[in-house]
Amino acid sequence: AAGTYPVSLTVTDDDGATATDSVTITVTPGTGGNQPPVAVISADPTSGPAPLVVVFSSAGSFDPDGTIVGYFWEFSNGRTSSRENPRLRFNSDGTYTATLTVTDNQGATATDTVTIVVGTVTNQPPTAVASADVTSGDAPLAVNFTGSGSSDSDGTIASYAWAFGDGATSSAANPSHSYTAAGTYVATLTVTDNGGATASASVTITVTDPTVNQPPTAVASANVTSGIAPLSVNFTGSGSSDSDGTIASYTWAFGDGGTSTAANPSHSYTAAGTYAATLTVTDNEGATASASVTITVTNPSTGCTSNCAIVSNISLSVRGNGSLVGMVTVVDENGSTLSGATVNVLWTLPDGTTMTASATVSSRGTARFNLSDFGSGSYTLAITGVSLNGYTFDADNSVLSGTVVK
Residues 226, 136, single domain; the answer is no
Q: Quick check: is 215 in a domain? A: no
Residue 226 pLDDT: 87
Give me the helices (H) in 131-235, please.
none
Whether 179 and 232 share a structural domain: no
What whole-number distance in Å separates Cα of residue 36 and Cα of residue 68?
A: 10
Q: Is residue 121 part of a domain?
A: no
Pick from 68, 88, 114: which residue ends a domain? 114
Instruction: Answer yes or no: do 153 and 88 share one domain.
Output: no
Q: Average pLDDT over the chain, rounded to whole?
A: 92
Q: Whole domain around residue 165: which residue ranges? A: 131-208
Same domain as 3, residue 104: yes
| Same domain membership, residue 91 and residue 141 | no
Rounded CA-CA distance 77/377 in Å is 96
Same domain for 226 and 248, yes or no, is yes
Q: Which of 4-8, 48-52, 108-112, 238-242 has the lowest mean pLDDT?
A: 4-8
Whether 213 is covered by a domain: the verdict is no
- Of the pLDDT bands very low, low, confident and very high (cuts 50, 70, 90), residue 257 is very high
What was the pLDDT predicted at 221? 95
Same domain, 21 and 94: yes
Domain shared by 275 and 329, yes or no: no
* Contact yes or no for 359/371 (Cβ under 8 A): no
Q: What CATH number does the domain containing 233 carry?
A: 2.60.40.10
Kindly give, in sequence order, each residue whose CB lies less than 8 Å from that of residue 237, ignoring residues fewer than 6 positions away: 218, 219, 220, 250, 252, 263, 264, 279, 281
Amino acid present at 140? P
Q: Is the pLDDT of residue 1 over 80?
A: no
The Cα-based distances of 237 to 200, 213, 224, 258, 260 in angstroms read 58, 21, 14, 16, 11
Note whether 138 and 110 are same-domain residues: no
Of 26-35, 55-64, 190-199, 300-309, the range with the lowest mean pLDDT is: 26-35
**Alpha-carbon gap, residue 55 to 268, rounded angstroms:** 108
Answer yes or no: do 379 and 343 share one domain: yes
In a domain, 122, yes or no: no
Query: Does residue 214 lie in a domain region?
Result: no
Question: Does position 135 have pLDDT exceeding 70, yes or no?
Answer: yes
The three-class DSSP label of residue 86 is coil
Please check the confidence at residue 33 and state whether its pLDDT lies above 90.
Answer: no
For the segment 220-232, what is each residue's pLDDT rounded down to a tens digit? Answer: 999 999 888 889 9
Domain boundary among 298, 328, 362: 298
All residues at 6 or more sequence positions from 165 whose CB lies less than 8 Å from its CB, including other chains? 185, 186, 187, 188, 205
What is this structure's pTM? 0.38
For 77-95, how does the pLDDT look when each residue is reduced to its tens digit (9 = 90+)?
999 999 999 999 999 988 8
**Last residue of a domain, which of 251, 266, 298?**
298
Angstrom distance (rounded) from CA 9 to CA 21:
5
Amino acid 121: pLDDT: 67
pLDDT at residue 269, as a whole number? 94
- Cβ(62)–Cβ(68) under 8 Å? yes
Assess whether 110 and 23 both reside in one domain: yes
In angstroms, the CA 145 to CA 133 distance is 7
pLDDT category of residue 265 using cuts at 50, 70 and 90: very high
Tell me: pLDDT of 61 over 70: yes
Structure confidence at residue 22 (pLDDT): 78
Question: DSSP letter at 396?
Answer: T
- State the pLDDT at residue 365: 94
Inform me whether the pLDDT recorded for 64 exceeds 70.
yes
Count how many domains the chain has. 4
